[in-house]
Structure 1
Amino acid sequence: MRNQLFIYLILTSLFITTISIRILVKPEIFKRDWPFNGDLNFSKDWSDECDVPCVWTGRADNIDGVFYTIRHNKDARWAFDDAKLAAITIGGATEPEHYHPLLTNENFWKYFTASALLATGSDIPWILKVSSYEEIQKVQPITDPIRKGVIGMFNCKSFNNREKILKEMMKIFPIASIGLCVRTEPWPMCGSKECDKEHVLRKYMFCLAFENGDTPGFVSEKIHQCFRAGSLPVWYGTKDVAWLLPKGSYIDMGDFESHIQLAHYLVHVMNNVTLYNSYFEWKKHPLDPAYVERNAPFWNYKIQCRVCRYVSVIQRGLTWDKTTQNAEIGSSRPIYPEIDIKVQYSSDILVKSFEEDRINYVFRSYTDMLVFLSLFVVIFLVLHISGYTKGILKFLKYRRY
């Protein structure tokens, strides 16, 4: 299997060797809502980590491509000015279509060259926390684990009733819920700080990876974190997760008639060491060739690298193969190593909003500041009317001495 992976890497290096790519992306979602800023730092030169030398920046000049993050607002609408589309455009989203209705709008997608979604069928799948080949080899079952399942949910308004399902499963099977939803235990502490998530998962016998919706193809970071921790993953989501993990390495709720039946099965597995260990039997055999071939494009290839590779393929008139995340084999034009491309991360070059969206979106970064200033003025007036301001100013005056 490793040989197949190396062959793939060699072919990739022959395809792209010398490129200078710049990517422009819209950053608001990462400033306010995104929990993986440390892992997905876009304003950075990724050349040392990508096979395609690649720069992501907020400067909207001299670009080759635009990565546009679709925001959470369900009522959002955008009108794109074709005259301003000076680059290849990729639409990215980190939640499924029930949070981003625009993802199902064909008129919306006509302004984009490709999609980069948390979906296995996307042009450039944005798979978070995907395990590398080396990490898969290191996975080991936990020694002397806590005999419970563990889950940390922070979105308490799911579209698949996972909160209700979890409550009902808890009546049968012991579960430590350490997130904000259906919480039964506090998040474990490591000294004075909260423990890293995978460090926490590593202590439990089972790890529940319940998505917030069952949209086909939607797979977030949850299942990968459970898998790497060595806890036995229990999956609730799309069947498309099957190609991301070795066969027989997790338990899928979809294989049971109900979540109640699943809960009873988990109790059975918990009390049967042989059955529990059977979910780690895959480690005793070579990885399935089809599994390796399907996942090789994502092992050690960040979304930033694959976006830059995509731009290089399209600019040279080649066809993008979303399965291999590379140029389609047998393209009519030869594959040359000499490429010169740039891509960026911002919005001015790409978006022309409707008036209501400009108020809600473009200026939303000022909202918190205005609210804070308003509260400050109100508090100051109340104190002033009450006669406390003179005392406070007098106190501050003497504090300087």
Structure 2
Amino acid sequence: MRHFDITMTHETCSDVWMPYLPRARGWQEMVARPIAAKTEEAPVALFQSAPVNRSGRVDFTAELSRHIKIDSYGRHFHNRAISGPDLGRKTKIETIARHRFCLALENSIEPDYVTEKIYDAFDAGTIPIYLGAPNVDEFVPANSYIDASAFPNAKHLAAYLQHLIETPEDYEAYFAWRSKPLPDSILKRLPGLETPTFCRLTNLVRQRLEERPHPPSGRPMLPFGRVSFLRTRLRRWKKKISS
């Protein structure tokens, strides 16, 4: 990383933070949208197409499916087709909304890596079953999701889901956050997200260039070192000769 002047990633320590966290207007639209009726027979929905499995989500899904019915609409573990035309995210949200729960399983488990999966479930008015970032609570309201890692195994998780199905007041408690202010851990981050990510990047680049002393006129900058510079010039020269 020593070769890079600026980092722009999902990590909060990046120079330019690029999260999946919705902006303020996105949260407002979520809570304003009514919760749809849960009409599907299968309690759990899953949208997953990538086979990446650094989090163990593939094995987790397979084991959970032995104890509770899962409708999987993605290419992975596919057992259910989308009804009607596929209009992208709109169809995805409408499909999730008909299920009581949605699996929100990250492909990797690392701090700050909270992707759109859990926010899609919020948007659909469905309870996410989350597996991923250990600090997810910094990016979502309290008591808004089910932590898959809190259960000793998939069988215990399935039993808890069945309890929620049979106990409406306990199920509905997961939506209480919709009528409360967002926690400070989210609110303090929202103002910085109003400026588009690449605008923040270009602003920082401009600032860094203004702060950095300019090299002597005509002297090349070698951010990757002299050897890398010479190798690059040699490759370009060989390419020019061969053409």
TM-score (norm 1): 0.48
1:317–1:211 Cα change, 3 Å: same
SS in 2 for 1:279: helix
- How big is each residue's C-alpha offset from its partner over 1:355-390, in whole Å with a ceiling of 9 and x where there is no partner? 9xx9xxxxxxxxxxxxxxxxxxxxxxxxxxxxxxxx
Instruction: From 134, 141, 158, give the equivalent of 2:25.
Output: 134
Task: Kindly indicate whether the alpha-carbon contact (under 8 Å) linking 2:131 and 2:147 is maintained by their aligned counterparts in 1.
Answer: yes
Amino acid corresponding to residue 28 of structure 2 in structure 1: Q
Q: Secondary structure at the match of 2:189?
A: helix
User: What SS does the corresponding residue of 1:165 show, helix, strand or coil?
Assistant: helix
Alpha-carbon distance, 1:111 to partner = 1.0
Q: Alignment partner for residue 169 of structure 1, among 64, 72, 80?
A: 64
Q: Distance in 1 between matches of 2:2 and 2:17?
A: 18
- Report Cα offsets for 1:156-189 as digits up to 9, x if no partner: 2411221111011112222111111111112333
Structure 1 residue 122 corresponds to structure 2 residue 17: no
Map residues 28-67 of structure 1 onto 2, 5 A cutoff: none
Q: Does 1:217 align with 2:120?
A: no
- The answer as to 2:190 corresponding to 1:295 is yes
Paired position in structure 1 for 2:74? 179
Amino acid of the residue matched to residue 112 of structure 2? G
CA distance 1:288–1:296, change in 2 (3 Å): same
> How far does residue 301 in structure 1 lie from its aligned partner after superposition?
3.5
Aligned to 1:203: 98
Q: What is the match of residue 311 of structure 1?
A: 205
Q: Deviations over 1:183-205 (max 9, x none)?
A: 11123333x76663223222222
Render the CA deviation track for 1:110-142: whole Å, top value 9, x for unaligned: 1111222233443323223x3221221232462
Deviations 1:306-344 (A, max 9, x none): 2123224433449xxxxxxxxxxxxxxxxxxxxxxxxxx
Secondary structure in 2 matching 1:297: helix
Task: Indicate how the Cα distance of structure 1 residues 133 and 304 shifts in structure 2: closer, same or farther if over 3 A, else same.
Answer: same
Q: What code does the residue aligned with 2:56 have? A: N
Q: Which is higher, the Rg of structure 1 or of structure 2?
A: 1
**Cα distance, 1:293 vs. partner?**
0.8
Q: Which has the higher helix share?
A: 2
State the 1:207 CA deviation.
1.5
1:216/1:305 Cα in 2 relative to 1: closer, same or farther (>3 Å)?
same
Counterpart for residue 155 of structure 1: 50
SS at 1:239 equivalent = coil
SS of 2:100's equivalent in the other structure is strand
Q: Tell me if structure 1 keeps the 8 A contact 2:110–2:134.
A: no
Aligned to 1:396: none
Residue 326 of structure 1 corresponds to which residue in structure 2? none
2:105 partner letter: F
Structure 2 vs 1, CA of residues 313 and 253 (structure 1 numbering), >3 Å: closer, same or farther? farther
CA distance in 1, matches of 2:48, 2:153: 21
Total equivalences in the alignment: 215
Aligned 1:2-401 pairs, distance under 5 A: 109-128=1-20, 130-139=21-30, 140=33, 142-145=35-38, 146=40, 148-190=43-85, 196-298=91-193, 300-317=194-211
CA contact (8 A) 1:153 1:177 kept: yes
Distance in 2 between residues matched to 1:271 and 1:123, nearest whole Å: 47
- Pair 243,301 (structure 1): closer, same or farther in 2 beyond 3 Å: farther
- Select the structure with the greater relative contact order (CA < 8 A; seq sep ≥ 6): 1
Deviation for aligned residue 1:303: 2.0
Structure 2 letter corresponding to 1:269: L
Output the CA distance in 2 between the equivalents of 1:198 and 1:185.
Answer: 15
Whose strand proportion is higher, 1 or 2?
1
Counterpart of 1:276 in 2: which secondary structure?
A: helix
Aligned-residue sequence identity (percent) comes to 24
CA-based RMSD of the aligned residues comes to 2.9
- Runs of 4+ with >4 A deviation: 192-195, 349-352
Cα distance between partner residues in 1 of 2:205 and 2:15: 12
Query: What CA deviation, in whole Å up to 9, does each residue of 1:269-300 have, x standing for no partner?
Result: 122211111111122222233431133322x3
Structure 2 CA distance for partners of 1:123 and 1:264, relative to 1, 3 Å: farther
